[in-house]
Amino acid sequence: MKLDSFRSAVIVMAHPDDEVLWASSILSTVRKVVLCYGEAPSDPHTSEGRQTVFDDFPLSTALTLDIPESHCYDTTHWHEPVETGYGVRCGRNKDVYKKNFHLLVKALEQHIDDGDTVVTHNPWGEYGHEEHIQVFRAVAHLGKRRKIRIFVTSYVSDRVLYFMERNTPRLGMASDLLPTDKALGEKLMRHYQAHNCWTWEDGYQWPDYECFYEITTPDMPLRSDRLTMSSLPVNVIWLDEQTPTYGNAFRATKKRLTARLRGLLQRAASALRGR
């Protein structure tokens, strides 16, 4: 699979900004970009921003299903994760999480047709996000009803490296290494920041290349042994192993305060213009 091979593809990602974080190389090429979740119950600033972020969105191919998040992030024991038919076992809001799976499948039926190539999250959820895994599971479930090709992203964090290794039997051929679109990435990052709904780190630096793996058998049993294996071409995100727990907490607090300050400044500027 080369860049031209993705020209009629559909990208399906969980949250607004996932599309540019994990698939910038093909973002301006694909036919459609479907973003699944909207309201973030735990983050009113992000929820408010997502209500307006698509009004002047730089990509005309993007749309949102606007399903409320289940607020289950970071509640899975990643050393011993347990897969389910609707994602992965999480420690909070299990009923909402399960309900969202059925909402996703029903909504995605309107946007994925026979013969489509679909690019989505990988089975370990990039850095271990339960809703990323759920979106993968929803696309895989739809793949049982329709003849589609499923490709997943090449990103993984230190948090879920072991889970990624266990998923290797499900990974088929990789695409070419594709140059990331850093200019588009920065443009979309600024757009999300302007609407107070950029959920990643400010100033994020995209890697030079990324690739996508085809998934031919989503339900292939996980690799069971713990023997050392050679690495695959992946983009590793260092989140946990090099950062103390208090560092993670500080980073999350800083992001919330930065978003709040940005919102206050924008409202103040609007008030001045209205005088």
Q: What is the dihedral of CA 74, 78, 82, 86, to 10 degrees?
A: 40
Residue 97: enclosing H or E segment and its boundaries?
Answer: helix 94-108
Boundaries of domain holding 255: 245-275
**What is the structure's pLDDT at 79?**
87
Based on the domain organization, do 256 and 183 belong to the same domain? no
Q: Are 206 and 237 in contact (CB under 8 A)?
A: no
Q: How far is Cα 160 from Cα 179, in angstroms, rounded to an integer?
A: 25
Based on the domain organization, do 227 and 259 belong to the same domain? no
**What is the structure's pLDDT at 228?**
78
Q: How far is Cα 169 from Cα 216, in angstroms, rounded to an integer?
A: 10
* Helices H / strands E in the chain, number of each: 7, 13
At 101, which CATH number? 3.40.50
Based on the domain organization, do 204 and 238 belong to the same domain? yes
Based on the domain organization, do 92 and 167 belong to the same domain? yes
Letter for the amino acid at 10?
V
Q: What is the dihedral of CA 156, 162, 168, 173, to 10 degrees?
A: 20
Based on the domain organization, do 249 and 237 belong to the same domain? no
Based on the domain organization, do 254 and 236 belong to the same domain? no
**What is the structure's pLDDT at 125?**
98
**What is the structure's pLDDT at 240?**
72
DSSP state of 150: E
Based on the domain organization, do 217 and 260 belong to the same domain? no
Based on the domain organization, do 272 and 167 belong to the same domain? no
Based on the domain organization, do 180 and 57 belong to the same domain? yes
The two three-digit tokens of residue 89, written as one number: 């076992």
Q: How far is Cα 231 from Cα 220, in angstroms, rounded to an integer?
A: 20
| 48 contacts: CB under 8 Å, gap ≥ 6 | 196, 197, 263
The two three-digit tokens of residue 181, written as one number: 């679109």
Based on the domain organization, do 16 and 121 belong to the same domain? yes
**What is the structure's pLDDT at 188?**
98
Based on the domain organization, do 269 and 154 belong to the same domain? no
Q: How far is Cα 48 from Cα 136, in angstroms, rounded to an integer?
A: 26
Give the number of other CB atoms < 10 A from CB of residue 204.
13
pTM of the model: 0.87
Q: What is the mean pLDDT of each run of 10 residues along the chain (275 residues)?
A: 95 98 98 97 94 96 97 93 96 96 98 97 98 98 96 96 94 96 98 96 95 96 84 88 48 57 66 66
**How many domains would you assign to the chain?**
2
Based on the domain organization, do 31 and 90 belong to the same domain? yes
Phi, psi of 182 (to 5 degrees): -70, -35
Strand partners, 179: 209
